[in-house]
Amino acid sequence: MFGLYIHIPFCESKCSYCGFYSTADKRRLGSYLKAVFNEAEARKAEKIDTLYIGGGTPSVFSAKEIVKFSDDLSGVYNFSHLKEATLEVNPEHIANCGDYLRILHEETPVTRVSMGVQSFNDNDLKFLGRIHNAQTAINAIEKILNADIELSIDLIYGIPTLTNEIWKNNLQFLKQFGLNHFSAYSLTVEPNTAFAKRQIPLDEDTTLQQYGILQEWCAANNYEQYEISNYARAEHYALHNCNYWNLSPYIGLGAGAHSYSGFTACSQTKAARRWNINNIEQYISNPANSYEQEFLTETDTFHEYIMTALRTKWGVQKSMLQKFSIPFQIHFNKISAPLLRNKTLTETEQAYILAKNSIPLADAVAEMFFFNFA
């Protein structure tokens, strides 16, 4: 089984914090979908179990365009085994969308929508460069829930305009709407963004306070932190993202999309990673061959697995460690021993898991395991 990711790099405008490949120039929308389909035909897979259409903002396309595109893809990929199909949307496209959601629900494989709300406070939204306001986000949420489509929203904390009280109020909207899933990200200043050019200062102490508020609120309201930035009730996990975290194979279509061949065991063929170029014009002109590729060493794969696994509630699985050669297993045991003694890590029958208070340090802990086994 493969996950299938499709990157739609078009937006109404470029947000000040966004480091993803995207553009507000929408002149090539139609040509782009044709190019993605051509790439799909060159990269067939037997079975797809998750589909994620992200961006950018895929909802810049009309419902009918998405229907046609999904119909075309269903002629290339077998969607009969889909467990989840997600479409990213923005509030401004959904709040006054007419039949958009009904068509999506009835005529495409989409079962889940992920919406970038970021905040329910207009000052925060203006600071971030978002073009919707809080009421538009509320209207869009109500429409999606009334359409009987599973909804996840994105929130951001650590915004310079965001007070702790406003952050608590943002979280209460999750409870008010009964959402089963949301993502919460700490604001970062990414290279080559408007924030980077303006050298926006961030307050680390306030960010940590708001992370603490988030943890307390989730514990009190039965939301489980199953990955460092993802929260769910009643195991409503984002299945496509889980593919990334456990080194399952996935195909990425579209300009800037990444693909991964998957990892089984150290003695088998090296895992391959490829990425399409971040250039719409070049991609459209040759969609099947506009990429670069690398073959990962066992060291690369070990580092990648530790980095992603420690960010999740499932941790580093002992069954996965056994797929690496003996030197890697010895190295893991050596580095993990003091971390177990000081309770940074906990050990279960199946896994090594970060202690709750160590989760914000996940990347730093993972780097302790990095080593060159060449």
pTM over 0.85: yes
Find the domain containing 121 and state its range. Answer: 2-243
Distances, alpha carbon 126 to alpha carbons 17, 120, 341, in Å: 12, 11, 47
Q: Same structural domain for residues 63 and 180?
A: yes
Residue 95: the pLDDT is: 87
Residue 296: the pLDDT is: 92
Handedness of CA 335, 338, 344, 345 (dihedral sign): positive
- In the structure encoding, which two tokens stand for residue 130, read together? 């978002």
Q: Same structural domain for residues 212 and 320?
A: no
Residue 372 banded pLDDT, cuts 50, 70, 90: confident
Q: Same structural domain for residues 200 and 328?
A: no
- In the structure encoding, which two tokens stand for residue 77, read together? 């990929």
- Final residue of a structural domain among 218, 243, 268: 243
- Is 271 domain-assigned? no
Q: Same structural domain for residues 88 and 224?
A: yes
Report yes or no: 36 and 71 within 8 Å, Cβ to Cβ. Answer: no
Q: Same structural domain for residues 128 and 237?
A: yes
Residue 199 has pLDDT above 80, yes or no: yes
- Is 66 domain-assigned? yes
- Is 72 domain-assigned? yes
Within 10 Å of residue 234's Cβ, how many Cβ atoms? 10
Residue 324 has pLDDT above 90, yes or no: yes
Per-residue pLDDT, averaged over 56-76, amounts to 94
Predicted confidence (pLDDT) per residue in 253-286, tens digit: 999 999 999 886 654 568 899 999 999 999 999 9
- Is 59 domain-assigned? yes
Q: Same structural domain for residues 320 and 237?
A: no
Q: Same structural domain for residues 319 and 211?
A: no
Ramachandran sector of residue 158 (left: φ over 0; alpha: ψ -120 to 50; beta: rest)? left
- Final residue of a structural domain among 243, 271, 288: 243
d(CA 119, CA 139): 14
Per-residue pLDDT, averaged over 80-100, amounts to 92
Strand, coil or helix: what is 176? helix
Looking at every residue in the chain, the average pLDDT score rounds to 94
- Is 290 domain-assigned? no
Report yes or no: 84 and 50 within 8 Å, Cβ to Cβ. Answer: yes
- In the structure encoding, which two tokens stand for residue 190, read together? 């990414």
Any idea what the CATH number is for the domain that residue 69 is in?
A: 3.80.30.20
State the Cα torsion 334-340-342-345 to the nearest 10°.
Answer: 120
Of the given ranges (2-11, 14-23, 272-281), which has the lowest mean pLDDT?
A: 14-23
Query: How many structural domains is the chain composed of?
Result: 2
- Final residue of a structural domain among 205, 223, 243: 243
Q: Same structural domain for residues 223 and 337?
A: no
What phi and psi, each to the nearest 5 degrees, are found at residue 71?
A: -65, -45
Q: Same structural domain for residues 237 and 320?
A: no
Q: Same structural domain for residues 216 and 338?
A: no
Q: Same structural domain for residues 37 and 178?
A: yes
Return the half-sphere exposure (C-beta side, CA atoms, 13 A cut-off) of residue 125: 20
335-338: list long-range contacts, CB under 8 Å, 24+ apart: 335/368, 335/369, 336/369
Of the given ranges (44-48, 78-82, 150-154), which has the lowest mean pLDDT?
A: 44-48
DSSP letters along 67-114, please?
A: HHHHHHHHTTS--TT-SEEEEEE-HHHHTT-TTHHHHHHHHSS--EEE
- Is 62 domain-assigned? yes
C-alpha of 337 from chain center = 32
Nearest to 43 by CA among 250, 226, 195, 313: 250
Predicted confidence (pLDDT) per residue in 157-196, tens digit: 999 999 999 999 999 999 999 999 999 999 999 999 999 9
- In the structure encoding, which two tokens stand for residue 57, read together? 């903002």
Per-residue pLDDT, averaged over 117-143, amounts to 97
d(CA 357, CA 183): 19
What phi and psi, each to the nearest 5 degrees, are found at residue 40?
A: -60, -45
Nearest to 23 by CA among 222, 360, 280, 232: 280
d(CA 73, CA 114): 21
- Is 60 domain-assigned? yes
- Is 277 domain-assigned? no
Residue 87: the pLDDT is: 97
Q: Same structural domain for residues 222 and 349?
A: no
Within 10 Å of residue 40's Cβ, how many Cβ atoms? 23
